[in-house]
Amino acid sequence: MKYRLVAFDLDGTLTKGEGSWWMLHRRFGTLERSIELDCLYSQGKISYRQYMLMDLSMWPKPLARSMLQEVLLKYQLREEAKDVVDNLKRAGIKTAVVTAALDIIAEDLCKKLGIEYCMCNKIGFDANDIYNGSVYPLVDPKNKHLALQKLSKETGVKLNSVLAVGDSDYDTTFLKSAGKGLLIGNEILAKQIGIEAIPNLSAVLSYL
């Protein structure tokens, strides 16, 4: 078997509609400022840890875990996501999510789909489930390959036996560091970054 592990991005790959961070910004009315921070991060003027801290500082205080769950757990799975993951597992292939999304959505999605490994970002909460000011940027969007390398060591699967699936330019290093990288639904971007495009998530199964 050529690939022993399939690693998925989350937002826009396993889900459809707005990304999870955008869902939060729309809910809290901080979208415009968030776009400015994203530009600073993209230009290398702030780190991803700084980005997260500055982002979260704009949200309501106190910020309860339940407020985040109310927004994030309304995500919409791609219709074919469960079937794809089930087929991979039946074939004996390990599955993982590597995402810059928060664990609140990532871990819930992995549980629903039966995905074994979950690499995501986290924030800290106190004993009353109120955000305590801590952030844990375990997956840096511009350097997702580092998270994939860590996953490779954790699972014992070499990178050349990993198939990675994403949907945006932030997935570039993630896709290129795997044995095979696939980009969903954006042929123009795929050509720009030198990654093969696929029309939908189900197409992943044809590469096994």
The answer to whether residue 186 scores a pLDDT higher than 80 is yes
Output the pTM of the full model: 0.95
Mean pLDDT along residues 77-101 = 97
Percent of the chain surpassing pLDDT 90: 97
pLDDT digits (tens, 9 = 90+) for 164-181: 999 999 999 999 999 999
Residue 199 — pLDDT band, cuts 50, 70, 90?
Answer: very high
Rounded Cα distance, 97 and 43, in Å? 26
Mean pLDDT along residues 37-43 = 94
| Alpha helix segments (H runs only) across 114-186 | 144-155, 172-177
The answer to whether residue 1 scores a pLDDT higher than 90 is no
Residue 68 makes CB contacts below 8 A (sequence gap 6+) with: 24, 102, 104
Q: Which of 187, 186, 173, 110 is nearest to 144 (CA)?
A: 173
Domains in the chain, CATH or no CATH each: 5-17+77-207 (3.40.50.1000), 20-72 (no CATH)
Coil/strand/helix, residue 125: strand
Mean pLDDT along residues 42-63 = 95
The answer to whether residue 204 scores a pLDDT higher than 70 is yes
DSSP string, 10-55: STTTTEESS-HHHHHHHHHT-HHHHHHHHHHHHTTSS-HHHHHHHH
The answer to whether residue 17 scores a pLDDT higher than 80 is yes
Q: Give the pLDDT confidence score for residue 129 in this predicted structure.
A: 98
Residue 49 makes CB contacts below 8 A (sequence gap 6+) with: 135, 137
